[in-house]
Amino acid sequence: MAETTHHYEQIIEVSGEVPAAERSLGVALCVVFMSVEVVGGIKANSLAILTDAAHLLSDVAAFAISLFSLWAAGWEANPRQSYGFFRIEILGALVSIQMIWLLAGILVYEAILRLIKETGEVDGFLMFVVAAFGLVVNIVMAVLLGHDHSHGGHDHGHGHGHGHGHGHGHGHSHSHSHGHNDHDQSHGHRHGVQITTHPHQHEDHRGDEEHGHAHEEDLEEPLLKKTSQDNNKPKKKRRNINVQGAYLHVLGDSIQSVGVMIGGAIIWFKPAWKIIDLICTLIFSVLVLGTTIKMLRNILEVLMESTPREIDARKLEKGLCEMDEVVAIHELHIWAITVGKVLLACHVKVRPEADAEMVLDNVIDYIRREYNISHVTIQIER
């Protein structure tokens, strides 16, 4: 029996992080302005400003979690965490959303209490000045995060396959690959396939049957082969869900700062209209909750191992069934360990006379070429 060696490597090395100087500047701006808003909100007796400060705190948390997840993604995979630590990104984003919802709930509760009970005067001028300063900070943060809103990665790959035949014979291929893209060059190599055959006899079989066990060892090649068809397709950038979330939060806070500025200006000229401060708090709390719904949906889909929305499983199955020598596809599973890192596993039934190895190569090549799935596990059946 051929010995199979398992390699544990990270699936995708995440790159394109925000430069250290910009990260430090962004976090410093958030912390400083958050302190200014807390003091200014208390001095002005403005709940809307305190709401903005709470949202800014959630932005700091989201940005910090995104940086931690990008760092953790570079941790070396091991036999226990064979896919690496990419899902830390999803868990971090979930914690960030829970923090946002908790703070929003507290502020909405306080706003309702202030609507019911008579509150003190609101300093409209101070409210306007603090909100204006916040708008400037949010614009700077949006620019910094915008550089990292979408980023690509280097692909690294390896594969190993196992084949087991019983009666009719089965072949398994487990392949996940990553390609290196440095200076528009691709590097890859492919090792040979070792086939070991063991004859057996069983009383419950008709006569003598041969059982084949195939092991594809150390298969390594680029994720996508360079063809004219592939070159015509735009390169799809991978997204980091936490950086995306922090970016959207900052944009939301910018809009909120404009609203608080308008409300502060009105209260500045019409102090009796202090209810506008509470209305701003309620409206912007609802808006912030609304902006996290899509992000939460993406998180739950990953945790539930749902088929990614950008992949049509029926179309993929139909494409495989239309290939030569393929009879049927079953046990098709498509899921993601984090946003942009998709995995696939399925059983492929082929004709008895078909070349299993050739069909296997064609199936894997089709899935990589058409759907850019980095980790593929195929079992061949007859």
26-53 residue pLDDT tens: 667 778 888 888 898 888 888 888 877 7
12-151+238-303 to CATH, choices 3.40.640.10, 3.60.110.10, 1.20.1510.10, 1.20.1070.10: 1.20.1510.10
> Does this model's pTM top 0.75?
no
Domain-by-domain residue ranges, the chain?
A: 12-151+238-303, 158-236+307-381
Give residue-wise pLDDT tens across range 218-241: 333 333 333 333 444 434 444 456
Is the pLDDT assigned to residue 269 strictly greater than 70? yes
Look at 221 and 265; give whichever has higher pLDDT: 265
In terms of Cα–Cα distance, which of 36, 34, 85 is closest to 59? 34
Is the pLDDT assigned to residue 376 strictly greater than 60? yes
In whole angstroms, give the CA distance from residue 214 to residue 196: 6
Look at 66 and 246; give whichever has higher pLDDT: 66
In whole angstroms, give the CA distance from residue 142 to residue 135: 10
In terms of Cα–Cα distance, which of 300, 293, 365, 370 is closest to 335? 300
Give residue-wise pLDDT tens across range 75-113: 888 888 888 888 888 888 888 888 888 888 888 888 888
Q: At what angle do helices 241-269 and 124-146 cross, to 10 degrees?
A: 160
Average pLDDT, the chain: 70
Q: Please work out, in degrees rounded to the nearest 5, the angle formed at the alpha carbon of residue 51 by the alpha carbons of 49 and 55.
A: 115
Look at 373 and 136; give whichever has higher pLDDT: 373
